Structure 1
C-alpha cells in the first residue's frame, strides 16, 4: 500500500506537472473559455426559457396583454443560447483535448528522457512491467488533472459569479445568496470527496499499477509458468490483487454516491430558499411574477457547473500517487554520467583494467581487485564458472555498471573522461540476451553497421551457419521476427547477435557467451568466423566453455570476482594445476 504524504507534499508533487502546462496555455485557456461559454449559455437558455414560459402564460390571461407581449425577442435569445452552447461544447472538446494530448505527449517524452540515461543496472530495480505501467497508466492518470479538476474548477468559479450576477440584476439579495450557496456547495462537496477518498484513491492507483506490471511480466513468462505448473498460483495472485483494487474502487464509488447525495441535498435547499425569497419579494411587489421561474432555473442551471466537481476531486489522490511514481523515475539520478565532450583523447584502443572493484546494491561483491591489460588487436578469452563476474566485467567496460574502486582506461584515457558517443563508437557488443526489434531482419542487422549491404549481411549469416534459417524466411532479410526474437531458437538468436556485432566497424569487439547453446561443431564454426572477422581488432570473448580457445592469444580466468590466472593457452595448459588445464582435461575425459 502507498505511504501517504502530508498535505503540503501532496500539493507540491503536482507542481511540476502544473508548470508543464505553460507551453500549452493558449490551448488550455481556449478550452476553459469555450467551457465557460457553454455553461453560461446553459444558464441563460434555461433561465430565459423559464421566464419566457411564465411570462407567456401570464400574458395570455387577457387579449390586450397577449397582443402587447413580444414573443420574438425571447425566442431569438433562446435560439442564440442554444447555438452558442453547441458551438462552445464543440470548441471546448477540440481545444481542451488538443492541449491535453500535447501535454501528455510532453510528459511521456520527459519521463522517457529521464529513463534513457539510466544504466541497465539502474533500470533493473523497476522491471519492464513497472516501467511500462508508469509510462502508460500513471501518465494517463494525469490526464484528469486538467480536464476534470483544474479547468472545471476555474470554470465553475466563473460560472458561479456569472449566475449570481445574472440573478442579482433583478434581485441583488437573491443574487448574493445564490452565489454564496453555490460557492459553499461547490467547495464542501469536492473538499469532502478529496479528504474521504484520498486514501482509497491512492490505494486504487497503487494496486492498478502493480496489477498491470505483474500481468505484463507474467504473460512474458507464460511458457515457463505453464511448464513448471505455476500459472494457476500466479493467476490466483493476480486475482487477489484485482479484488483488492476492486474493493478500493467500490469504496470510491460509495464516496461518490455520498457526494452526489450531498450535492443534490444542497441543490434542493438552495433552490427552495431561492424560490421562497423570490416568492416573498413578489408578494411584496418588489419582483415581477415571471422572474420566479427565471431565478429558480438559473440556480438549477448553475449547479451544473459544480455537480461533477466532487467526483473529479475524489480522484486527486489517484493523480497525486501517479505523479509521485513518475517523479521517482523523472528525478532518478543516473548512476553513470558522461561528459558532453571528451576530457581526454584516447591514445589507441588498448584496454587497461586497474584494481577494479564492483559491489552491487545488495552488498554482493561482483569484482574484487581485478587488473588486466588487453593490447591493441589482441584476442582474449575471459573464462570462468557462472557467477564469477565475467558479465559484470563486460558491463564495466561499456559503463553499464560503475566501479566503486579502480579504473578502466581506453588508450590511457579513463572511461569516465570520454563522452558517450566516443565510448559507444569504440565497442561492438553482443550480450547474452539478444533483443530483436519489431523491424525487418535487415534493419536489426544494420544496427551494427547502417552502411552494410545485403551481400555482406547474407555472407556473414551463411558463415555463422544461419544459411538454412535464412532460406526458410519467405521474404529473406525483409522478413520480420516475432516480438523480442522469439521466432528464432536460442542458438539462432545468439548467432544473429554475433553477426550484428561483427558487422560493426568498432575497434573492440565484446562477445558474451557467443557459443552458448550450440553443439561443438557449430561452436567451432562460430569461433573460427569470429577469429577471422576480428583480425586487426581487439576481441574479448566471455565464455565458460574451453573448446576452441587455444587459437586465441590469451586466456584470463575469473573465479568469485577475482582474477585467478592469465596467460597464453599453451602456457596455461602446461600448468597441470591451472584452471584452464583442469577443465580441458575434463572435456577430454
Structure 2
C-alpha cells in the first residue's frame, strides 16, 4: 500500500475559502437575489413579448377579436420586466462586487499577516516578486470562485427550476422536459469544460505567476542587466515564458469554443423538441397556439443562465492553483514563534552568545561554535571579511534566523523568552541594505522613534555629515525620496540608515557595515558620532575595515563563521600575527 500523500480534492482545497464568504453572506446573498431577479425578468420579458406578438397577430385576424384584445396589460408587463431587469442588474453589480471586494480585502490581509512575521531567511525561499504575485494575482484569482462559479451556478439552478415551473403551468410535460434538458446542459457542459482544461488553466496560473515574479525582479535589477548587456537575453527568456503561458491560454480558448458549440447544439435540440411538443399539443387543441412562441423564447432566455457556466468551470483550475499557492504561504512556510508575553525582564543591556551554530537550508555552515560575552554599555567591533558570518550573527540576535544550536540572551534573559514587542524595543538596527519607503524623509526617520522632533532629526543628520545634502532637498524633511532611496548615493543612504537607528531609544545598537562607501575621513567622523550617541548603550558594529576601531572597547574577529580573535584593540595590535594587526598594516599602506 502506497504511503505517498494524495493531492487534496477540489472541495477540501476550496472549502476554507468558501467558508470565508460567511461574514459577507448578506452582501453575496443579495447579489444572488438581484442576479436571479435580472435573469427571471429577462425570461419573463422575452416570453411575454413572444406571447404578445403571437396573440396580437391572432387577435388581428378579425375585427371582433381586435376590438376586445387587451393590449395594455401585456405591454405594461413588458415594461415592468424591463425596469426590474435594469434594477436587478444594477443591484447585482453593487452588492456582489461589494461583497467580493470585501472578501478579497480580507483574504489579502490574511496572506499579508502570514507573510509579515516570516524571517528574512524564510522570505528568501520565495523571493519578493513571487510573494507579490501571490499577494495580488493569486488573491484576485479567487474572485472567480464566487463571481463566476458559486453565484452563477446557484442562480442558474433557480432559473432553470423557475423556467420549468412557468412552462409547466401551461404544459406539464414540456415543463418537465425543459427542466431536465436545461439541467443536463448546465451539468454536462461545465463538467466537460473543467475536465478537459483544469490542468491547462492551473498551468496557466502557475506560468503567469512565474512570469510576473520574474518580470518584477528583473525590472528591479534592470540597471545591472543593461550594464552587463544581459537585458536582451532576459527579454528572450521573458518572451519564451509569455509564449508558454499564451499557449496554455490558446488551448483553453479552443476548449471554450468547443464547449460553446456543445451548448449551442444542446440549445438547438432542446428548443426543437420543446417547439415540436408545443406545436403538436396546439394542433391537438391541448395548448393555446399563442403559447408556442412563449415556450420557445422562454427556453432561449433560460439558456442565458447556463451559457457562461462552461467558461466559469473551465477557469476553476486557476482558482485551485491559486488556493494551493496561498495555502503554501499561509500554512507551510516556517515562521518564528515568539513568546506571547515576557517570561522575564532583562536586567541590563548585556548580551551573551554561547556555542552558537547557524546553518542555512542548503547546508552551508554560517556560524560554528561562536561564544561572546558583551557587557552592558560595551562597544564591540565585529571584524571579518565578506562571508565570515557577521551579518548572520546580527540576524541571530534580532531573531531573523533561527540557530540550530546555542543560546542567546539579553540581560540574562533568553531571547526566546521575550515577546516580539520587547525584543524589537531592545534593538536598534541599521542593516547593510537600507530601504526608504515611499514617504517623506521625516516619516522614514520616525520609523525608529515616532516622538523624535525635527530638531533631533536635523541635528543627527548634520552630525553624520548629511547637513549639506538635507539643505539641497526642496522641502527639507518634507521631501520625498525616489522608490527605494536610489536618489541618495550609497554612502548617504548608509548614513541615513545609521541616523534612523541612532534615533531609536533601544539599549542595544546593531550596525552592519555603517561606513561602507565612505572615505577614510568621513568614516572616522561617522564612527566618532556613533560612539558619542551610543554612550551608555551596548553597540555591536559589523565591519570589514579597521578604520578607527582603536576607539572600540573590544574587537571580535570572525573567519568563516568561527571566532578567531577577541581582545582590545591594543592587545590585538600588539600581536603582529593577528588578523586585526595585519589588516591595519595593509590599510595603512
Cα deviation, residue 7, structure 1:
7.7
CA distance in 1, matches of 2:359, 2:330: 25
CA distance in 2, matches of 1:204, 1:449: 46
Q: Identify which range, 313-322 or 461-470, moves more after superposition.
A: 461-470
**What are the within-5 Å matches in structure 2 for residues 569-588 of structure 1?**
569-588=569-588
Residue 72 of structure 2: aligned partner: 72
Q: Per the alignment, in what secondary structure is the counterpart of residue 564 of structure 2? A: strand
Report Cα offsets for 1:40-71 as digits up to 9, x if no partner: 11111111110111011011101111112111
CA distance in 2, matches of 1:311, 1:401: 46
Report Cα offsets for 1:334-384 as digits up to 9, x if no partner: 431101100122111110000000011110000000000110010000001
Report whether the alignment pairs 1:116 with 2:116.
yes
Residue 414 of structure 1: aligned partner: 414
Cα deviation, residue 8, structure 1:
5.1
Cα deviation, residue 333, structure 1:
4.7
Residue 388 of structure 2: aligned partner: 388
Residue 470 of structure 1: aligned partner: 470
Q: Does the CA-based 8 Å contact 2:122-2:333 persist in structure 1?
A: no
Q: Per the alignment, in what secondary structure is the counterpart of residue 253 of structure 1? A: helix
CA distance in 1, matches of 2:249, 2:375: 63
Report Cα offsets for 1:78-136 as digits up to 9, x if no partner: 11111111111111010000000000000000000111111111111111110111111
Residue 490 of structure 2: aligned partner: 490
Residue 354 of structure 2: aligned partner: 354
CA distance in 2, matches of 1:323, 1:173: 44
Residue 206 of structure 1: aligned partner: 206
Residue 522 of structure 1: aligned partner: 522
CA distance in 2, matches of 1:401, 1:152: 47
Report whether the alignment pairs 1:500 with 2:500.
yes
CA distance in 2, matches of 1:579, 1:448: 35
Q: Per the alignment, in what secondary structure is the counterpart of residue 307 of structure 2? A: coil
CA distance in 2, matches of 1:9, 1:558: 51
**What are the within-5 Å matches in structure 2 for residues 23-172 of structure 1?**
23-172=23-172
Residue 429 of structure 2: aligned partner: 429
Q: Does the CA-based 8 Å contact 1:114-1:332 persist in structure 2?
A: no
Q: Per the alignment, in what secondary structure is the counterpart of residue 346 of structure 1? A: coil
CA distance in 1, matches of 2:14, 2:44: 35
Q: Does the CA-based 8 Å contact 1:117-1:334 persist in structure 2?
A: no
Q: TM-score, normalised by structure 1?
A: 0.98
Report Cα offsets for 1:404-450 as digits up to 9, x if no partner: 10010011110000000111111100000000011110111111211
CA distance in 2, matches of 1:98, 1:164: 32
Q: TM-score, normalised by structure 2?
A: 0.98
Residue 339 of structure 1: aligned partner: 339
Cα deviation, residue 11, structure 1:
2.5
* Structure 2 unaligned regions, length at least 5: none
Change in Cα spacing, 1:427 to 1:7, as seen in structure 2 (3 Å) is closer
CA distance in 1, matches of 2:346, 2:139: 43
**What are the within-5 Å matches in structure 2 for residues 201-350 of structure 1?**
201-350=201-350
CA distance in 1, matches of 2:454, 2:544: 33
Report Cα offsets for 1:508-549 as digits up to 9, x if no partner: 100000001111011001001001111111100000001100
Aligned length: 585
Cα deviation, residue 588, structure 1:
2.1
Change in Cα spacing, 1:188 to 1:7, as seen in structure 2 (3 Å) is farther
CA distance in 2, matches of 1:71, 1:588: 106
Report Cα offsets for 1:540-564 as digits up to 9, x if no partner: 0000001100000000011011111
Q: Identify which range, 62-71 or 427-436, moves more after superposition.
A: 62-71
Q: Per the alignment, in what secondary structure is the counterpart of residue 113 of structure 1? A: helix
Cα deviation, residue 77, structure 1:
1.1
Q: Per the alignment, in what secondary structure is the counterpart of residue 557 of structure 1? A: strand
Q: Does the CA-based 8 Å contact 1:335-1:402 persist in structure 2?
A: no
What is the RMSD of the two structures over their aligned residues, measured on CA atoms? 1.0
Q: Does the CA-based 8 Å contact 1:430-1:512 persist in structure 2?
A: yes
Residue 400 of structure 1: aligned partner: 400
CA distance in 2, matches of 1:238, 1:377: 53
* Structure 1 unaligned regions, length at least 5: none
Residue 551 of structure 1: aligned partner: 551
Q: Per the alignment, in what secondary structure is the counterpart of residue 510 of structure 1? A: strand
Report Cα offsets for 1:440-473 as digits up to 9, x if no partner: 1011111121111111111111111112211110
Residue 480 of structure 1: aligned partner: 480
Q: Does the CA-based 8 Å contact 1:359-1:404 persist in structure 2?
A: yes
CA distance in 2, matches of 1:133, 1:7: 23
